[in-house]
């Protein structure tokens, strides 16, 4: 006879809050991606750097509200000049990434943009080795093969669970051409990302 374990109100609330956060993140992330595509490609807005500035300004203001006023996470002070330099470098790289992504949306379908984004684990592993000489296990490198192969196949139009939703919605909205080869490549890419994530978990 199986007994049902009732969740405590606090645990249930925590789970619902987590689900809400994940849903909000997925929705906002995909929404921004599709809105950028519409503004830069379909609507004819030609200022991706200005668009990035709006994104960064909104993120800064809302983050300050969430930290200083709503107290969602504690305020953290910069402890040294080295830490400041690292934060500044990361900010510049991230800003460059967003600018490049926005510019690419003027010329690429959202589906292909997401498929290319799925190669992040591959380039992370490559640069981690080049910069720190840190090697992953052989199985981790093997799982990266379908990631890259999938994107190569998809290049003839289609990265992760979030990307799948963005691809479907973008196809419905922007009418991106979809072929069997493209779908096969995109599917292979997703499988590769899942295998990579699982191999990382096993090696911890």
Q: Is the dihedral of CA 144, 25, 91, 82 positive or negative?
A: negative
| Residues constituting the chain | 204
- The structure tokens listed for 112 are 């292909």
* d(C-alpha 133, C-alpha 131), whole Å: 6
Burial level of 183, CB count in 10 A (0-12/13-18/19+)? middle
Nearest to 170 by CA among 128, 116, 108, 98: 108
- pLDDT exceeds cutoff 70 at 32: yes
DSSP state, 31? H
pLDDT in tens, 63-114: 999 898 988 888 888 899 999 999 999 989 888 888 888 888 877 776 666 6
Instruction: Report residue 3's pLDDT band, with 50, 70 and 90 as the boundaries.
Output: very low
* d(C-alpha 7, C-alpha 50), whole Å: 48
Cα 142 from chain centroid (whole Å): 22
Nearest to 76 by CA among 85, 62, 87, 90: 87
- pLDDT exceeds cutoff 60 at 6: no
- pLDDT exceeds cutoff 60 at 40: yes
**pTM, entire model:** 0.56
Cβ-contact 52, 98 below 8 angstroms = yes
Report pLDDT for 2: 45
Which has more pLDDT, 160 or 17? 17
The proportion of the chain whose per-residue pLDDT surpasses 90, expressed as a percent, equals 9
Q: What is the mean pLDDT of residues 31-39?
A: 86
């Amino acid at each position: 006879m199986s007994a049902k374990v009732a969740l405590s109100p606090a645990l249930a609330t925590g789970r619902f809050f987590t689900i809400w956060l994940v849903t909000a993140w997925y929705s906002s992330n995909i929404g921004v991606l599709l809105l950028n595509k519409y503004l830069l490609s379909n609507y004819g807005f030609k200022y991706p750097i200005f668009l990035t500035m709006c994104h960064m300004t909104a993120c800064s203001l809302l983050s300050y509200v969430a930290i200083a006023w709503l107290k969602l996470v504690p305020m953290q002070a910069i402890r040294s000049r080295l830490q400041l330099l690292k934060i500044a470098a990361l900010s510049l790289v991230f800003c460059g990434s967003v600018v490049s992504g926005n510019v690419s949306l003027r010329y690429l379908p959202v589906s292909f943009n997401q498929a290319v984004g799925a190669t992040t684990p591959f380039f992370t592993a490559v640069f981690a080795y080049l910069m720190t000489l840190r090697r992953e296990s052989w199985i981790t490198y093997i799982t990266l093969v379908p990631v890259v192969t999938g994107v190569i196949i998809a290049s003839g139009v289609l990265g992760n669970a979030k990307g799948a939703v963005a691809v479907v919605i973008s196809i419905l909205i922007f009418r991106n051409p979809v072929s069997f080869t493209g779908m096969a490549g995109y599917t292979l890419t997703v499988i590769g990302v899942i295998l990579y994530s699982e191999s990382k978990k096993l090696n911890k």
